[in-house]
């Protein structure tokens, strides 16, 4: 089962935000031709110097944005794993972390050198303001 591995992936997401290395997160690679194409996970700075997560769900004909706490956003993402997304990509300034589910329902995490040299602009602002 992939759930324990996805839980580890979620911990990596939280750690990247706490460490100030978060750049980007996206769900990709759907099973078959689906209405939903991607889900993008972004940090949003609130007026009270806290942060939220913006989830932008990109469909064939529209985009829908929703705002969540970090834990809520990760829970929402978990509902899309295998239904229909097979891959979650976390980009940090330390490394790229890819979570994949195979046809046998097994999860895996692959680490590669970082794509991004800088954390997301909101992450940098959060560091500057001492939020993380």
Task: List, for residues 56-83, the tens digit of each pLDDT value.
Answer: 999 999 999 999 999 999 999 999 999 8
Predicted local confidence at residue 31, as pLDDT: 79
Mean pLDDT of the chain: 95
Predicted local confidence at residue 65, as pLDDT: 97
Task: Give the count of beta carbons closer than 10 Å to the beta carbon of residue 6.
Answer: 20
The string of pLDDT tens digits covering residues 19-70 is 999 999 999 888 788 999 999 999 999 999 999 999 999 999 999 999 999 9
Contact 73, 27 (CB under 8 A): no
pTM for the whole thing?
0.93
Q: By CB neighbour count within 10 A (0-12 exposed, 13-18 middle, 19+ buried), where does 16 fall?
A: buried
Give percent of the chain above pLDDT 90: 91
Predicted local confidence at residue 132, as pLDDT: 85
């Amino acid at each position: 089962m992939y759930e324990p591995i996805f839980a580890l992936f979620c911990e990596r997401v939280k750690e990247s935000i706490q460490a100030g290395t978060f750049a980007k997160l996206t769900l990709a690679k759907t099973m078959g031709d689906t209405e939903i194409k991607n889900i993008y996970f972004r940090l949003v700075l609130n007026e009270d110097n806290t942060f939220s997560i913006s989830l932008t769900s990109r469909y064939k004909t529209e985009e829908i944005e929703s705002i969540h706490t970090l834990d809520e956003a990760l829970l929402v993402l978990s509902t899309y794993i295998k239904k229909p997304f097979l891959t979650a990509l976390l980009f940090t300034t330390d490394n790229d972390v890819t979570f994949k589910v195979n046809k046998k329902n097994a999860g895996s995490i692959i680490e590669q050198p970082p794509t991004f040299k800088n954390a997301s602009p909101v992450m940098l602002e959060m560091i500057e303001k001492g939020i993380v």
